[in-house]
Amino acid sequence: MTATAAPRIAFPVERVRADFPSLAVAMRGKPLAYLDSAATSLKPRCVLDTVAEYYGPKYGTVRRGVYGLSEKATAAFEGAREKVARFLGAPGPGNIVFTKGTTEAINLVASSWGRTRVQAGDRILVTAMEHHANIVPWQLLCREKGAHLDVLPMNAAGELEMERLPGLLDRRTRLVAVAGISNALGTVNPVREIARQAHEAGALVLVDAAQMVAHARVDVADLGCDFLAFSGHKLFGPCGVGVLYGKAEILESMPPYQGGGDMIQTVTFEKTTFAEVPRRFEAGTPAIVEVIGLGTAIDYVRRLGIDAIGAHDAELLEYGTRLLEEIPGLSFTGTARRKAGILAFVLSGVHPHDIGSVLDQEGIAIRAGHHCAQPVMQFFGVAATARASLSIYNTRDDLDRLAAGLRKVVALFR
């Protein structure tokens, strides 16, 4: 398996580690080797400081207040929207809707766009490696509308069978929903090519960028997508905030998703008129501080440089792959030629939860389970896998400890 090719750039990993207070805390009396960033990333001090500041002396509501605290909080909140827009290469802040996370962003599209545009007999295409968040909302929509859910298959390496795509793109296909990077396998998908073919067939494209944002450059114009979703908590930001990017003309054509305060222009008992995009999709008091914290996380990532982050990830992935290949009985799930950030595997005769528990005793945090991608588990004929996922604060030492821990597991269970 080859990791994604990326230029070698010296990455200041020790300086980065010093930014993350979680790494100073021991787990089971050992230094923490945190290898579960695909589930959620640790938070740098600058994000923690922003959160403390905006829940502390700078706390105020947004959009409504006529007093100084509220005006300042509103400016910081809308400033974060601009940061997200720049980070994604979006035309402007009007393309950015704040949600609770990737899951809510995808549900927003399925409920608002889907309910008005998808009819009986239409088709939605997802891929064989999607997270449940990019399957279930489409399944619910298809069931409600009498539409069909199609699946672009993958091969044994965990790569999409792109030659099958033209045959699956029907004139009734309304939307193609695809993960930029698979959370269960680490596969980097050819999103740009999928978008090109989907558009030729008249379908829209939604990219689930939950795993992509912290590993690769995301540019919505370059990807050519119509929608893109991600979660703040996987990008070193707070939990409870996420983003939906949408093309302006599509967002503007979509009806409200939820009703309430902040998303209206006028309300009478007879009739309500709705606010402009993106506010139309942001009913109720938003996660003010978390949104501002996400802005700080984006500043942090931009300072490090996403290409340097990608190169660090590629270097670790290659190193970890070589180490784990040597473990007796270990086989990888996901051996795509283009991979990022994830080492998922099974050990013959050992349940992944047992692997996780033994590693926990060694101070090593990995994930064991179905990773909210049960169809991927079904494809590989396993109930669960073990997954070590990489981030900016991981080192070769973390991977050496993982390999040593796995040798212990092998010795214990054989």
Residues that bind ligand PMP (CB under 6 A): 101-103, 131, 133-134, 179, 183, 208, 210-211, 231, 372
Distance (Å, whole) CA 159 – CA 337: 8
Shorter beta-carbon distance to ligand PMP: residue 238 or 363: 238
Distance (Å, whole) CA 394 – CA 241: 24
Q: Hey, what are 347's tokens?
A: 């050990």
The answer to whether 314 touches 341, Cβ cutoff 8 Å, is no
Write down the least CB distance from residue 40 to ligand PMP, Å: 8
Residue 160 gets which letter from DSSP?
B
Q: Taking Cα atoms as reference points, which of 386, 381, 388, 376 lies closest to residue 160? A: 376
Write down the least CB distance from residue 241 to ligand PMP, Å: 10
- Is 46 in the active site? no
Write down the least CB distance from residue 78 to ligand PMP, Å: 23
Distance (Å, whole) CA 254 – CA 367: 38
At residue 6, what are phi and psi to the nearest 5 degrees? -150, 150
Q: Taking Cα atoms as reference points, which of 389, 343, 314 lies closest to residue 6? A: 314
Distance (Å, whole) CA 250 – CA 168: 24
Shorter beta-carbon distance to ligand PMP: residue 133 or 358: 133
The answer to whether 178 touches 206, Cβ cutoff 8 Å, is yes
Q: Hey, what are 118's tokens?
A: 């998808």
- Residue of 142, 225, 239, 372 marked active site: 372
Write down the least CB distance from residue 242 to ligand PMP, Å: 6
Shorter beta-carbon distance to ligand PMP: residue 11 or 138: 138
Write down the least CB distance from residue 300 to ligand PMP, Å: 19
At residue 274, what are phi and psi to the nearest 5 degrees? -105, 155
Shorter beta-carbon distance to ligand PMP: residue 11 or 227: 227
Shorter beta-carbon distance to ligand PMP: residue 90 or 179: 179
Active site residues: 372
